[in-house]
Amino acid sequence: MFPLSSTMELTQAVSLGLAVLIGIGFGFFLEKAGFGSARKLVAVFYFYDMAVVKVMFTAIVTAMIGLFVLSSAGALDMAELYVEPTNYPAAILGGIVFGAGFVIGGYCPGTSLTAAATGRLDGVAFLAGIFVASYAYAEFLSGFDTWLASSALPDQTLPVLTGIPMGWFVLLFVGFLALAGWGMSLAERRFAGLRP
Amino acid sequence: MNTISVSSNAPRAVTKAAPSPFWNPYLAGFGLGLVLLAAYLIAGRGLGATGAFSSVAAWIANAISPEHAQATAVHARYLQSGPPWTAWLVYLLIGSAIGSAASGYAAGRWSISIERGPRVTDGQRLAFALVGGIIAGVGAKIARGCTSGQALTGASILNPGSLVFMVSVFAAAYAVAWTYRKEWL
């Protein structure tokens, strides 16, 4: 039954219309979470407002539970879902560079669009930076990119790699979220004085 | 931030109402998770915010010189999936801009302004935002995804590369945060 992309013939217009609808939801919740504000986002790196981790983890766990329940019920074929090919050195190197850019720029790509769409000029500047980077990457690092792609492994997920059923990972993540939620509330109180 | 002094009289039309508070992060995260789940169920893949930029970049490169664009592997890869006005990720971002603007406007948070700490100027902050955007953009290209396409999307399907990416992002961000504290605190 799900995903619809493999069980139904969606016309291009319908598919792109659905993309807009999903996007509206994406932007709506990012803005409601406060992620159109760079100050709210970077607060996580000074521990006085951990909203970024809370929102991300809750979103991950929510979607994970949904995927697990629907596939267990036979309504979703997990094998039909796209899994980004895995390349550990690229994930580590890209992650380190990205993390530095996050602190310096104050946003990540999705949230900079939310910021720009609510009038934040620094969000516009960050978006311009991503565009410059995307163009420059293609121009100067295409060879590197080809090498990265050729050494990436397709369809890697922890249940497939370890043979441990997905449900155990779901339980682990739910437990970790609860524990982290408690830890974060302590951290926020401890570092409240850093709030500018 | 300007402090708006409100008199004890009934608010006049010119007095701006204070913006609504942000949602509880767990509630907003739950909503975001449902959107991510919907993306998986409908399109068979999760969210993504950086791909659209490469799609537009490839299209511009192709308009300038088709031979050059086709000979450049990354441009060629994005050109294969068609022009930006047929790209799924581009429409996702158009929707995201609409949803963000509508939510921000309704909450009284829509304003032409610059987000910065109290110790930097607007000009400095804009320069940091541009440079940070370039750095984060390169990182997202190397890792083949950002906080949306790798961290959220990949972690929810238990992609180990995405989990490694997420840990690397936070480790690096916490490592450099103290160096850049003057920008924010």
Q: Average pLDDT by consecutive 10-residue portion of chain A (196 residues)? A: 90 95 98 98 97 98 98 96 95 98 97 98 98 97 93 94 97 97 97 94
What does the pLDDT average to over B12-26?
A: 79
Quick one: pLDDT band at residue B15, thresholds 50, 70, 90?
low
Residue A9 at interface with chain B, using a CB cutoff of 8 Å? no
pLDDT of residue A108: 95
pLDDT of residue B3: 46
pLDDT of residue A95: 98
- Cα–Cα distance between A38 and A50 in angstroms, integer? 13
Q: Which is higher by pLDDT, B123 or B8?
A: B123
Quick one: pLDDT band at residue B1, thresholds 50, 70, 90?
very low
> Out of B14-18, B131-135, B139-143, which region has the weakest mean confidence (pLDDT)?
B14-18
Does this model's pTM top 0.90?
A: yes
Residue B4 has pLDDT above 60, yes or no: no
Residue B18 has pLDDT above 90, yes or no: no
Q: At A53, which helix (H) or strand (E)?
A: helix A51-72
Residue B14 has pLDDT above 80, yes or no: no
- Cα–Cα distance between A90 and A8 in angstroms, integer? 35
Backbone angles phi, psi at A120, to 5 degrees: -80, 115
Contact call for B157 and A157, based on CB within 8 A? yes
Contact call for B180 and A104, based on CB within 8 A? yes
Partners of B116 on chain A (C-beta within 8 Å) are 38-39, 122
* Average pLDDT score over chain B: 92
CB interface of B with A, residues 157-176, below 8 Å: 157-176
pLDDT of residue B16: 64
pLDDT of residue B9: 47
**How many CB atoms are closer than 10 A to CB A13?**
8
Residue B5 has pLDDT above 70, yes or no: no
Partners of A105 on chain B (C-beta within 8 Å) are 128-133, 135-136
Residue B11 has pLDDT above 90, yes or no: no
Partners of A157 on chain B (C-beta within 8 Å) are 157-160
Question: Between A and B, how many CB-CB pairs are < 8 A?
Answer: 525
Residue B12 has pLDDT above 50, yes or no: no
Structural Rg of chain A based on CA atoms: 19
DSSP code at position B72: S
Q: Is there a contact between B111 and A40 (Cβ–Cβ < 8 Å)?
A: no
Nearest to A59 among B29, B105, B133 (CB): B29
Residue B17 has pLDDT above 80, yes or no: no
**How many CB atoms are closer than 10 A to CB B120?**
17
pLDDT of residue B8: 45
Partners of B93 on chain A (C-beta within 8 Å) are 23, 113
For the stretch B81-125, pLDDT in tens is 889 999 999 999 999 999 999 999 999 999 999 999 999 999 999
Q: Tell me whether 0.85 is exceeded by the ipTM.
A: yes
3-state secondary structure of B61: helix
pLDDT of residue B7: 44
What does the DSSP assignment read for A58-123?
Answer: HHHHHHHHHHHHHHHTTSB-GGGS--PPB-HHHHHHHHHHHHHHHHHHS--HHHHHHHHHTTBHHH
Q: Is there a contact between A87 and B61 (Cβ–Cβ < 8 Å)?
A: no
- Cα–Cα distance between B64 and B58 in angstroms, integer? 10
